[in-house]
Amino acid sequence: MGKPILGIIGGGQLGSMLSTAAKEIDVKTVIYCDDIDAPAQNFANEFIYGKYNDEEKINEFVSKVDVVTFEFENIPYETLNKISHNKKVLPKPKINKIVQNRLFEKDFVNNINIRTTSYVAVKNDSDLKSSTELLPGILKTCTLGYDGKGQFKINSEKDLNNLNVDFNKEYILEKQVKLKKEISVIVTRFSHQKYEIYEPIENIHEDQILKYSKIPADISEKLFHKSMDWATLIAEELEYIGTLCVEYFIDKNDNLYLNEIAPRVHNSGHLTINSHNISQFENHVRAVCGLEKIETKKLYNAKMINLIGEDISFYRNKKFNENEFFYDYLKNEIKEKRKMGHLTIITK
Ligand code: ADP
Ligand code: MG
Protein backbone atom coordinates (compact mmCIF):
# COMPACT_ATOMS: atom_id res chain seq x y z
CA MET A 1 0.00 0.00 0.00
CA GLY A 2 1.28 3.47 -0.88
CA LYS A 3 1.57 6.29 1.58
CA PRO A 4 -1.53 8.41 2.17
CA ILE A 5 -1.95 11.71 0.34
CA LEU A 6 -1.99 14.55 2.85
CA GLY A 7 -4.39 17.48 2.49
CA ILE A 8 -3.31 20.66 4.29
CA ILE A 9 -5.70 23.54 4.88
CA GLY A 10 -3.85 26.84 4.89
CA GLY A 11 -1.08 27.91 2.57
CA GLY A 12 1.36 30.04 4.57
CA GLN A 13 4.93 29.20 5.57
CA LEU A 14 3.82 26.44 7.94
CA GLY A 15 2.04 24.74 5.03
CA SER A 16 5.20 25.15 2.96
CA MET A 17 7.40 23.56 5.60
CA LEU A 18 4.92 20.72 6.15
CA SER A 19 4.90 20.07 2.40
CA THR A 20 8.68 20.08 2.21
CA ALA A 21 8.96 17.64 5.12
CA ALA A 22 6.30 15.42 3.54
CA LYS A 23 8.10 15.36 0.20
CA GLU A 24 11.27 14.13 1.89
CA ILE A 25 9.44 11.04 3.11
CA ASP A 26 7.50 10.51 -0.13
CA VAL A 27 4.16 11.81 1.11
CA LYS A 28 2.27 13.85 -1.49
CA THR A 29 0.53 17.04 -0.37
CA VAL A 30 -2.44 19.06 -1.57
CA ILE A 31 -2.79 22.57 -0.14
CA TYR A 32 -6.18 24.28 0.17
CA CYS A 33 -6.10 28.01 0.81
CA ASP A 34 -8.31 31.08 0.46
CA ASP A 35 -5.37 33.17 -0.75
CA ILE A 36 -4.68 32.76 -4.45
CA ASP A 37 -1.05 33.80 -3.85
CA ALA A 38 -0.52 31.31 -0.99
CA PRO A 39 3.25 30.73 -0.77
CA ALA A 40 2.84 27.02 0.04
CA GLN A 41 1.82 26.34 -3.58
CA ASN A 42 5.55 26.61 -4.37
CA PHE A 43 6.29 23.61 -2.14
CA ALA A 44 3.24 21.32 -2.39
CA ASN A 45 2.37 18.79 -5.10
CA GLU A 46 -0.96 20.43 -5.75
CA PHE A 47 -2.76 23.62 -4.81
CA ILE A 48 -6.47 24.37 -4.68
CA TYR A 49 -7.69 27.90 -4.19
CA GLY A 50 -11.05 28.39 -2.54
CA LYS A 51 -12.86 30.00 0.36
CA TYR A 52 -13.20 27.99 3.57
CA ASN A 53 -16.96 27.80 3.16
CA ASP A 54 -16.97 26.91 -0.55
CA GLU A 55 -18.50 23.44 -0.37
CA GLU A 56 -17.79 22.49 -3.96
CA LYS A 57 -14.11 23.41 -3.80
CA ILE A 58 -13.71 21.76 -0.40
CA ASN A 59 -15.29 18.57 -1.80
CA GLU A 60 -12.85 18.60 -4.71
CA PHE A 61 -9.98 18.95 -2.22
CA VAL A 62 -11.31 16.18 0.02
CA SER A 63 -11.72 13.81 -2.94
CA LYS A 64 -8.02 14.14 -3.73
CA VAL A 65 -6.59 13.31 -0.30
CA ASP A 66 -6.62 10.52 2.29
CA VAL A 67 -6.17 12.56 5.46
CA VAL A 68 -6.64 16.26 6.22
CA THR A 69 -4.68 18.47 8.57
CA PHE A 70 -4.28 22.24 8.91
CA GLU A 71 -1.53 24.78 9.41
CA PHE A 72 -3.54 27.37 11.33
CA GLU A 73 -6.30 26.97 13.88
CA ASN A 74 -8.81 29.54 12.73
CA ILE A 75 -10.50 27.48 10.06
CA PRO A 76 -14.27 27.47 10.66
CA TYR A 77 -15.17 24.51 12.88
CA GLU A 78 -18.10 23.69 10.57
CA THR A 79 -15.73 23.20 7.64
CA LEU A 80 -13.45 20.82 9.53
CA ASN A 81 -16.36 18.96 11.05
CA LYS A 82 -18.02 18.43 7.66
CA ILE A 83 -14.81 17.13 6.15
CA SER A 84 -14.43 14.71 9.05
CA HIS A 85 -17.60 12.88 7.94
CA ASN A 86 -15.71 11.82 4.78
CA LYS A 87 -12.03 11.75 5.60
CA LYS A 88 -9.92 11.66 8.72
CA VAL A 89 -9.19 15.16 10.05
CA LEU A 90 -6.23 15.27 12.43
CA PRO A 91 -5.97 16.77 14.98
CA LYS A 92 -9.71 16.26 15.55
CA PRO A 93 -11.95 19.28 14.84
CA LYS A 94 -13.40 19.32 18.37
CA ILE A 95 -9.93 20.17 19.69
CA ASN A 96 -9.94 23.27 17.54
CA LYS A 97 -13.17 24.37 19.07
CA ILE A 98 -11.50 24.53 22.49
CA VAL A 99 -8.22 26.02 21.41
CA GLN A 100 -9.70 28.59 19.00
CA ASN A 101 -11.21 30.39 21.96
CA ARG A 102 -8.89 31.88 24.60
CA LEU A 103 -11.55 31.51 27.29
CA PHE A 104 -12.39 27.84 26.61
CA GLU A 105 -8.68 27.14 26.32
CA LYS A 106 -7.84 28.66 29.71
CA ASP A 107 -10.82 26.97 31.41
CA PHE A 108 -9.72 23.63 29.94
CA VAL A 109 -6.14 23.82 31.20
CA ASN A 110 -7.08 25.14 34.64
CA ASN A 111 -9.40 22.15 34.97
CA ILE A 112 -6.42 19.84 34.57
CA ASN A 113 -4.47 21.85 37.16
CA ILE A 114 -2.23 23.74 34.79
CA ARG A 115 -1.70 27.31 35.89
CA THR A 116 -2.52 30.33 33.74
CA THR A 117 -2.50 34.00 34.64
CA SER A 118 -5.75 35.26 36.25
CA TYR A 119 -8.41 36.10 33.69
CA VAL A 120 -12.04 37.03 33.31
CA ALA A 121 -14.54 36.96 30.44
CA VAL A 122 -15.45 40.45 29.24
CA LYS A 123 -18.68 40.96 27.29
CA ASN A 124 -19.22 44.65 27.86
CA ASP A 125 -17.95 47.84 29.39
CA SER A 126 -19.25 47.10 32.87
CA ASP A 127 -17.53 43.68 32.98
CA LEU A 128 -14.35 45.53 32.22
CA LYS A 129 -14.89 48.24 34.83
CA SER A 130 -15.56 45.65 37.52
CA SER A 131 -12.34 43.73 36.83
CA THR A 132 -9.81 46.37 37.73
CA GLU A 133 -8.06 44.03 40.18
CA LEU A 134 -6.57 42.37 37.07
CA LEU A 135 -4.80 45.57 36.00
CA PRO A 136 -2.28 46.08 34.58
CA GLY A 137 -3.68 43.62 32.10
CA ILE A 138 -4.21 42.75 28.49
CA LEU A 139 -7.62 42.65 26.86
CA LYS A 140 -7.70 40.10 24.03
CA THR A 141 -10.37 39.02 21.59
CA CYS A 142 -11.41 35.45 22.49
CA THR A 143 -11.06 34.31 18.88
CA LEU A 144 -9.04 35.02 15.73
CA GLY A 145 -6.06 36.81 17.31
CA TYR A 146 -2.46 36.18 16.25
CA ASP A 147 0.85 38.03 16.41
CA GLY A 148 -0.66 40.40 18.97
CA LYS A 149 -3.61 41.32 16.76
CA GLY A 150 -6.82 42.07 18.67
CA GLN A 151 -4.98 42.93 21.91
CA PHE A 152 -5.21 46.04 24.06
CA LYS A 153 -2.79 46.83 26.84
CA ILE A 154 -4.58 48.37 29.86
CA ASN A 155 -2.19 49.81 32.42
CA SER A 156 -4.64 51.42 34.84
CA GLU A 157 -8.27 52.41 35.31
CA LYS A 158 -7.52 55.67 33.53
CA ASP A 159 -6.89 53.77 30.27
CA LEU A 160 -10.43 52.37 30.38
CA ASN A 161 -11.85 55.72 29.32
CA ASN A 162 -9.81 55.88 26.12
CA LEU A 163 -10.43 52.34 24.98
CA ASN A 164 -11.92 51.81 21.58
CA VAL A 165 -13.26 48.29 21.89
CA ASP A 166 -15.88 46.71 19.65
CA PHE A 167 -18.16 44.80 22.03
CA ASN A 168 -19.76 42.85 19.19
CA LYS A 169 -16.83 40.55 19.86
CA GLU A 170 -16.10 38.63 23.04
CA TYR A 171 -13.00 39.34 25.06
CA ILE A 172 -10.88 38.02 27.85
CA LEU A 173 -8.99 40.26 30.26
CA GLU A 174 -5.72 38.72 31.45
CA LYS A 175 -3.57 39.94 34.28
CA GLN A 176 -0.18 40.93 32.92
CA VAL A 177 2.59 38.55 33.97
CA LYS A 178 5.84 40.21 35.03
CA LEU A 179 7.86 38.37 32.47
CA LYS A 180 11.31 36.99 33.06
CA LYS A 181 11.16 34.76 30.02
CA GLU A 182 8.93 33.08 27.48
CA ILE A 183 9.38 29.47 26.41
CA SER A 184 7.51 26.96 24.31
CA VAL A 185 7.35 23.19 24.24
CA ILE A 186 6.55 21.24 21.09
CA VAL A 187 5.27 17.70 21.31
CA THR A 188 4.04 15.26 18.67
CA ARG A 189 1.56 12.68 19.89
CA PHE A 190 1.15 9.51 17.81
CA SER A 191 -1.29 7.58 20.00
CA HIS A 192 -2.01 6.79 23.66
CA GLN A 193 1.16 7.62 25.65
CA LYS A 194 3.25 7.62 22.47
CA TYR A 195 5.12 10.89 21.95
CA GLU A 196 8.12 12.59 20.56
CA ILE A 197 8.89 15.75 22.48
CA TYR A 198 11.38 18.56 21.94
CA GLU A 199 13.17 20.29 24.80
CA PRO A 200 11.85 23.73 25.83
CA ILE A 201 12.64 26.55 23.41
CA GLU A 202 13.36 30.06 24.67
CA ASN A 203 11.54 32.81 22.78
CA ILE A 204 11.92 36.56 22.51
CA HIS A 205 9.05 38.64 21.13
CA GLU A 206 9.21 42.14 19.71
CA ASP A 207 5.91 44.02 19.36
CA GLN A 208 4.17 40.76 20.38
CA ILE A 209 5.66 38.98 17.34
CA LEU A 210 8.18 36.18 17.80
CA LYS A 211 11.65 37.47 16.85
CA TYR A 212 14.20 34.98 18.25
CA SER A 213 14.08 31.34 19.43
CA LYS A 214 16.88 29.20 20.82
CA ILE A 215 17.76 25.88 22.38
CA PRO A 216 18.78 25.17 25.01
CA ALA A 217 16.48 27.51 26.94
CA ASP A 218 18.19 29.12 29.89
CA ILE A 219 15.78 27.83 32.58
CA SER A 220 15.91 25.77 35.77
CA GLU A 221 15.80 22.01 35.65
CA LYS A 222 12.49 22.10 37.48
CA LEU A 223 10.86 24.25 34.77
CA PHE A 224 12.51 22.18 32.06
CA HIS A 225 10.62 19.12 33.28
CA LYS A 226 7.41 20.85 34.34
CA SER A 227 6.91 22.57 30.98
CA MET A 228 7.40 19.25 29.15
CA ASP A 229 5.11 17.37 31.57
CA TRP A 230 2.34 19.92 31.08
CA ALA A 231 2.65 19.75 27.30
CA THR A 232 2.32 15.95 27.28
CA LEU A 233 -0.58 16.11 29.74
CA ILE A 234 -2.41 18.50 27.41
CA ALA A 235 -1.76 16.33 24.35
CA GLU A 236 -2.98 13.26 26.23
CA GLU A 237 -6.11 14.97 27.63
CA LEU A 238 -7.04 16.20 24.15
CA GLU A 239 -6.28 12.78 22.61
CA TYR A 240 -4.30 14.84 20.19
CA ILE A 241 -2.74 13.38 17.04
CA GLY A 242 0.03 15.44 15.45
CA THR A 243 2.31 18.26 16.54
CA LEU A 244 1.19 20.75 19.16
CA CYS A 245 2.93 23.71 20.77
CA VAL A 246 2.42 25.09 24.26
CA GLU A 247 3.54 28.68 24.88
CA TYR A 248 4.49 29.57 28.44
CA PHE A 249 5.35 32.60 30.54
CA ILE A 250 7.92 32.47 33.33
CA ASP A 251 7.60 35.29 35.87
CA LYS A 252 10.30 36.98 37.95
CA ASN A 253 9.75 34.43 40.75
CA ASP A 254 10.23 31.51 38.38
CA ASN A 255 6.56 30.56 38.28
CA LEU A 256 5.40 28.85 35.13
CA TYR A 257 2.12 29.88 33.44
CA LEU A 258 0.56 28.51 30.30
CA ASN A 259 -0.02 31.32 27.80
CA GLU A 260 -1.65 29.51 24.90
CA ILE A 261 -1.84 26.25 22.99
CA ALA A 262 -1.25 26.14 19.24
CA PRO A 263 -2.86 23.00 17.77
CA ARG A 264 -0.33 22.87 14.96
CA VAL A 265 3.33 23.20 14.10
CA HIS A 266 4.76 26.43 15.49
CA ASN A 267 7.13 29.22 14.53
CA SER A 268 9.36 28.54 17.55
CA GLY A 269 9.93 25.00 16.21
CA HIS A 270 11.42 26.07 12.87
CA LEU A 271 14.86 25.43 14.31
CA THR A 272 14.01 21.71 14.69
CA ILE A 273 14.50 21.37 10.91
CA ASN A 274 18.23 21.83 11.47
CA SER A 275 18.77 20.93 15.12
CA HIS A 276 17.08 17.50 15.20
CA ASN A 277 17.09 14.29 13.20
CA ILE A 278 13.32 14.65 12.77
CA SER A 279 11.70 18.11 12.59
CA GLN A 280 8.37 19.15 14.12
CA PHE A 281 7.02 19.12 10.55
CA GLU A 282 8.13 15.59 9.71
CA ASN A 283 6.82 14.35 13.06
CA HIS A 284 3.46 15.98 12.33
CA VAL A 285 3.26 14.35 8.91
CA ARG A 286 4.27 10.98 10.38
CA ALA A 287 1.68 11.19 13.16
CA VAL A 288 -1.30 12.30 11.06
CA CYS A 289 -0.46 9.88 8.22
CA GLY A 290 -0.05 6.96 10.64
CA LEU A 291 3.60 6.41 9.64
CA GLU A 292 6.39 5.05 11.78
CA LYS A 293 7.42 7.01 14.89
CA ILE A 294 11.17 7.52 14.91
CA GLU A 295 13.03 8.42 18.08
CA THR A 296 13.68 12.14 17.84
CA LYS A 297 17.10 13.35 18.92
CA LYS A 298 18.84 16.67 19.15
CA LEU A 299 21.90 16.89 16.91
CA TYR A 300 22.82 20.55 17.53
CA ASN A 301 21.96 23.54 19.62
CA ALA A 302 20.37 26.26 17.55
CA LYS A 303 18.96 29.73 17.35
CA MET A 304 16.43 31.10 14.92
CA ILE A 305 15.83 34.65 13.79
CA ASN A 306 12.51 35.58 12.20
CA LEU A 307 12.91 37.86 9.21
CA ILE A 308 10.04 40.28 9.38
CA GLY A 309 9.04 42.81 6.72
CA GLU A 310 12.02 44.52 5.11
CA ASP A 311 14.53 42.34 7.06
CA ILE A 312 14.29 39.85 4.21
CA SER A 313 15.89 42.07 1.54
CA PHE A 314 19.32 42.04 3.19
CA TYR A 315 19.28 38.26 3.66
CA ARG A 316 18.21 37.56 0.06
CA ASN A 317 21.60 38.88 -1.05
CA LYS A 318 23.70 37.56 1.80
CA LYS A 319 26.24 34.72 1.71
CA PHE A 320 25.86 32.16 4.49
CA ASN A 321 28.24 30.06 6.53
CA GLU A 322 27.94 26.29 6.64
CA ASN A 323 26.09 26.37 9.94
CA GLU A 324 23.53 28.97 8.77
CA PHE A 325 20.27 27.99 7.04
CA PHE A 326 18.20 30.65 5.32
CA TYR A 327 14.53 30.11 4.47
CA ASP A 328 12.69 32.46 2.15
CA TYR A 329 8.91 31.98 2.33
CA LEU A 330 8.57 33.33 -1.23
CA LYS A 331 5.73 35.70 -0.33
CA ASN A 332 4.94 37.89 -3.26
CA GLU A 333 4.88 41.15 -1.31
CA ILE A 334 6.96 42.51 1.55
CA LYS A 335 4.69 43.96 4.23
CA GLU A 336 5.48 45.51 7.57
CA LYS A 337 5.16 42.94 10.40
CA ARG A 338 4.78 40.11 7.89
CA LYS A 339 6.91 37.02 8.48
CA MET A 340 8.96 36.79 5.27
CA GLY A 341 11.57 34.17 6.13
CA HIS A 342 13.87 32.93 8.86
CA LEU A 343 17.48 32.08 9.53
CA THR A 344 18.62 29.20 11.72
CA ILE A 345 22.15 28.99 13.06
CA ILE A 346 23.31 25.67 14.51
CA THR A 347 26.15 25.21 16.97
CA LYS A 348 27.72 22.19 18.66
P1 ADP B 1 -0.94 35.70 19.95
O2 ADP B 1 -2.11 34.80 19.73
O3 ADP B 1 -1.03 36.96 19.19
O4 ADP B 1 0.39 34.97 19.86
P5 ADP B 1 -0.39 35.84 22.80
O6 ADP B 1 -1.44 35.74 23.82
O7 ADP B 1 0.57 34.73 22.70
O8 ADP B 1 -1.12 36.16 21.44
O9 ADP B 1 0.39 37.21 23.06
C10 ADP B 1 1.50 37.61 22.28
C11 ADP B 1 2.64 38.09 23.19
O12 ADP B 1 2.21 39.20 24.01
C13 ADP B 1 3.10 37.05 24.20
O14 ADP B 1 4.00 36.13 23.63
C15 ADP B 1 3.72 37.96 25.27
O16 ADP B 1 4.99 38.43 24.87
C17 ADP B 1 2.76 39.13 25.32
N18 ADP B 1 1.68 38.84 26.30
C19 ADP B 1 0.45 38.37 26.02
N20 ADP B 1 -0.31 38.17 27.13
C21 ADP B 1 0.47 38.50 28.17
C22 ADP B 1 0.28 38.50 29.62
N23 ADP B 1 -0.87 38.12 30.18
N24 ADP B 1 1.32 38.90 30.40
C25 ADP B 1 2.51 39.30 29.83
N26 ADP B 1 2.75 39.31 28.50
C27 ADP B 1 1.75 38.93 27.66
MG1 MG C 1 1.22 33.58 21.12
Is the C-beta atom of 77 inside 6 A of ligand 1? Answer: no
Contact in structure between 39 and 329 (CB atoms under 8 Å): yes
| 147, pLDDT greater than 90 | no
* Residue 94 is assigned to a structural domain of this protein: no
The residue to mutate among 259, 266, 268, 339, having the most atoms of ligand 1 within 8 angstroms of its beta carbon, is 259
Which protein residue has the closest C-alpha to ligand 1 atom 2?
146
Residues 226 and 320 in one domain: yes
User: Which ligand sits closest to the CA of 183?
Assistant: 1
Which protein residue has the closest C-alpha to ligand 1 atom 5?
148
User: Which ligand sits closest to the CA of 118?
Assistant: 1
Residues 166 and 193 in one domain: no
| 74, pLDDT greater than 80 | yes
* Residue 128 is assigned to a structural domain of this protein: yes
Residues 283 and 196 in one domain: yes
Residues 296 and 314 in one domain: yes
Residues 156 and 169 in one domain: yes
Residues 300 and 314 in one domain: yes
Give the tens place of pLDDT for each residue, 296-322. 999 999 999 999 999 999 999 999 999
Q: Given the CA of residue 177, which atom of ligand 1 is nearest to it?
A: 24
Residues 279 and 339 in one domain: yes
> CATH number for the domain including 57?
3.40.50.20
* Residue 55 is assigned to a structural domain of this protein: yes
Residues 195 and 144 in one domain: no
Domain residues for 315?
179-347
Q: What is the pLDDT of residue 25?
A: 98
Residues 160 and 78 in one domain: no
Instruction: Measure the CA dihedral 236/240/245/248, to 10°.
Output: -40
* Residue 105 is assigned to a structural domain of this protein: no
pTM here is: 0.97
Which protein residue has the closest C-alpha to ligand 1 atom 15?
208
Q: 55-63 and 77-84 are packed helices; what angle lies between their axes, rounded to 10 degrees?
A: 40
Q: What is the pLDDT of residue 149?
A: 86
Is the C-beta atom of 196 inside 6 A of ligand 1? Answer: no
* Residue 97 is assigned to a structural domain of this protein: no
Tell me what percent of the residues of the chain surpass a pLDDT of 70. 100
Residues 285 and 184 in one domain: yes
Is the C-beta atom of 73 inside 6 A of ligand 1? Answer: no
CA of 202 to the centre of ligand 1 (A): 14
| Count of helices and strands (H, E) across the chain | 10, 18
Tell me what percent of the residues of the chain surpass a pLDDT of 90. 94
Is the C-beta atom of 179 inside 6 A of ligand 1? Answer: yes
Separation CA 110–CA 107 (nearest Å)? 5
Is the C-beta atom of 117 inside 6 A of ligand 1? Answer: yes
> CATH number for the domain including 232?
3.30.470.20
Higher confidence at residue 327 or residue 163? 327
| Listed residues 175, 192, 214: the one ending a domain | 175
Q: What is the pLDDT of residue 68?
A: 98
